[in-house]
Amino acid sequence: MLIILEGIDCSGKGWLADYILKKGPQPMVYLKQGSKPKNKGVEGRTRLQIAYEAMLKAYRSELAPMGCHAIFDRFYPSELAYAETMRNYDPWVGNRFNILETQINSINHALVYVQAPKELILERMEARGEDYIDKWDLDDIMIGYDDFMRKTSIRNVIRYNSLKVDPDDLINTIFKESR
The residues near 131 (Cβ < 8 Å, ≥ 6 apart) are none
pLDDT 10s digits, 72-107: 998 888 888 888 887 777 777 777 778 888 999 999
Residue 179 pLDDT: 45
Say how far apart CA 121 and CA 127 lie, in whole Å.
10
More reliable by pLDDT, 99 or 39: 99
pLDDT, residue 2, reads 96
Domains along the chain? 2-177 (3.40.50.300)
Task: Determine the distance from the C-alpha atom of residue 84 to the mean position of all C-alpha atoms in its chain, rounded to a whole number.
Answer: 17
Residue 173 reports pLDDT greater than 60: yes
* pLDDT at residue number 29: 93
Q: Pick the residue with more confidence: 21 or 100?
A: 21
- The whole-angstrom separation of Cα 65 and Cα 125 is 38
> Which residue would you say has higher pLDDT here, 162 or 61?
61
Residue 152 main-chain phi, psi, to 5 deg: -70, 150
- Residue 114's φ and ψ, nearest 5 degrees, are -85, 125
Residue 64 binned pLDDT confidence (cut-offs 50, 70, 90):
very high
Across the chain, what does the average pLDDT equal? 87
Higher pLDDT, 158 or 46: 158
Each residue's pLDDT tens digit, 113-162: 999 999 999 999 999 888 778 888 999 999 999 999 998 889 999 999 98
Q: pLDDT-based confidence at 40, cuts 50/70/90?
A: low
Of the chain, the percentage scoring pLDDT greater than 70 comes to 92
